Amino acid sequence: MNRTPSPVASWTFSRLSAPVTRYDETTLEQMVTLAVEALDVVAGHELLVPERVVLQAWREPFGAAESAARPSADSTPAEFAAVTGDLRQPVLDLARTRGAFPEEIHFSGPGAVYDADGGRSEVDDLVHLYVSAFYEVSVRLVTHVDIWLPHDLRAVEQWDLHEANAPRLRAALAALAELPDVEESHVDKTKYAEVASTEVLNHIDYFGRAVPVLDQET
């Protein structure tokens, strides 16, 4: 498994019923609601068990209209360890203490990787989940690893690893798109992979061969 500094692939899903007109508690609660729904999906497919929650991209004052909002003087990210239960209260408590609005909430933790024989292991940061408030409340799923690809990022065939793991990612992405009043709003093609609605595929050359996108020393 190769890990990259920038995303191999990312997908964004926006909740159309939650346009952002004010950075206030109502919008923050909408962010937490979408986060919980999305975390249920990714945890159910063993992609992410959230252990760390980071509130970042602070704006002040809390409750300011979008046109008046500006970066917070104290822009230091605030974090807490994720625990089973309601996320709403710790998120709101941190925002009230800061007196500012976190435009983005980042969830990280381990996820499961399966081998061709069904063996299971856990790795940190298999995927990351971000919930943001910019125009609309949105959730973004990001991966920095290449286990979803038929060939790894050095163009080495890994069909068994791909077939053991990619279906979970596809199923999770389809489920995220089916959340209430949510639509896929942005899919990033990257220098590492071709990204479609629920697929991550290798870049290929004129002859249909996977293209290596990492230096051999990486």
At 70 the pLDDT is 62
Instruction: Look at residue 198 and tell me if it is in a domain.
Output: no
Plot region of 3 (φ>0 → left; ψ -120 to 50 → alpha; else → beta):
beta
Residue 65 near residue 22, CB atoms below 8 Å = yes
Residue 79 near residue 32, CB atoms below 8 Å = no
At 65 the pLDDT is 57
Tokens encoding 78: 């605030």
Q: What is the mean pLDDT of the chain?
A: 88
Inform me whether the pLDDT recorded for 68 exceeds 60.
Answer: no
Instruction: Look at residue 143 and tell me if it is in a domain.
Output: yes
Instruction: Look at residue 200 and tell me if it is in a domain.
Output: no
Per-residue pLDDT tens digits for 69-90: 566 556 788 888 876 667 888 9
Inform me whether the pLDDT recorded for 163 exceeds 90.
Answer: yes
> What range defines the domain where residue 69 resides?
9-147+158-190
In the chain, the number of structural domains is 1
